[in-house]
Amino acid sequence: MRQFTIGDVTIDAICERSGPWRTPETIFLGYDREASESKLRELGPVLYDAAQNRLVMAYHSFVLRWPGRTVLIDTCTGEDKGYPPPMDFPKQPWLDGLAALDLAFEDIDVVFSTHLHIDHCGWNTRLREGRWVPAFPRARYLFVRGEYEYWKQATARGENPPGKVWTMNCEPVMAAGQCELVEADYTLDGVMSLKLTPGHSPFHCCVDISSRGEHASVVGDLMHHALQLVEPDTSTVFCADPKAAARSRRAFLAEAAEKNTLLFPSHFPGPVAGRVQAEGKGFRWQFA
């Protein structure tokens, strides 16, 4: 992804993996191939591999920089976590992506995850002498209180997933004293503000960026694929509350279309960022 500028803020992506991924049948709830395959084909080969019937999907972190701040949003799956395939991504592309932005782990001031799923908090920690320690030694890690507590309790109940995701990626940050639990209306420097968009996870938050009259939003898993713009009511098998996820998506996208907000979804490949326009019963995606 090329660098984008919103007022005083630059936005860059770090890509952990990209390419044909799962079939639509295994991701979208209630997927009807007869009704929806033509819509996928219309989105084009950047987003849908028609020959293999695979969604093309990527995994991204985003780096926001403005004077005095370097903020990392969503930390992909990370290294040494021992996840089984297909989540055992190689670590080098992400490390190369960080270095390509002229950044070291020490340079990150603030880390935030839109939600605490396996692919959004992985690089929070690294394994050192058999222990998970914060990967970003100077950073303050912001967790939305409700999201943190939800996964803490799910882990205590032994649910799998999350399995060890919270134990490896979140708890060690708290133990190291680098964690700050914030509410879902948190703002930073008047530039970055959280926006609660529940459904995919209980306290999923988008990150609105506003500077000098320009607007953008890092939208996490508000949608996993552009088909969910054409069909905003389609949620995924990974959504905790599919109906709430659809409500959040519709409301958020309606506002984004009105304001012409530049959107950065976690899992869109290629140019990654784009804008939406209202069209028919949904929206039309246009890569920026």
Give the whole-angstrom CA distance, residue 159 versus residue 181: 23
Interface pick for Zn ion out of 119, 171, 208, 231 (rule CB under 5 A): 119
Are residues 109 and 70 in contact, defined by beta-carbon separation less than 8 angstroms?
yes
Nearer to Zn ion, 12 or 119 (CB): 119
Give the shortest CB-277-to-Zn ion separation in angstroms.
25
Give the shortest CB-59-to-Zn ion separation in angstroms.
7
Site for Zn ion in 127-146 (CB under 5 A): none
- Residues written for the chain: 288
Q: Which of the stretches 5-13, 91-99, 112-120, 176-184 binds Zn ion when contact is defined by CB under 5 A? A: 112-120
- Closest by Cα among 81, 197, 178, 196 to 134: 178
Nearer to Zn ion, 119 or 171 (CB): 119
Nearer to Zn ion, 119 or 208 (CB): 119
Does 74 bind Zn ion (CB under 5 A)? Our answer is: no
Nearer to Zn ion, 76 or 139 (CB): 76
Site for Zn ion in 232-251 (CB under 5 A): none
- Is the bond leading into 86 cis (omega within 30 degrees of zero)? yes
Give the whole-angstrom CA distance, residue 233 versus residue 49: 22
Nearer to Zn ion, 191 or 219 (CB): 219
Give the shortest CB-119-to-Zn ion separation in angstroms.
4
Q: Which of the stretches 14-22, 49-57, 88-96, 114-122 binds Zn ion when contact is defined by CB under 5 A? A: 114-122
Site for Zn ion in 188-207 (CB under 5 A): none
Does 221 bind Zn ion (CB under 5 A)? Our answer is: yes
Nearer to Zn ion, 16 or 221 (CB): 221
Q: What residues have CB less than 8 Å from 129, skipping those under 6 apart?
A: none
Write the secondary structure of 85-115 as one string of H (helix), E (strand) and C (coil).
CCCCCCCHHHHHHHHHCCCCHHHCCEEECCC
Are residues 157 and 167 in contact, defined by beta-carbon separation less than 8 angstroms?
no
Give the whole-angstrom CA distance, residue 66 versus residue 10: 7
What sign does the dihedral 55-62-194-117 (CA atoms) show? positive
Give the shortest CB-157-to-Zn ion separation in angstroms.
22
Q: How many residues bind Zn ion (CB under 5 A)?
A: 2
Nearer to Zn ion, 178 or 228 (CB): 228
Continuous segment of H or E residues that includes residue 42: helix 33-43
Q: Which of the stretches 129-137, 202-210, 214-222, 255-263 binds Zn ion when contact is defined by CB under 5 A? A: 214-222
Applying CB under 5 A, which residues contact Zn ion?
A: 119, 221
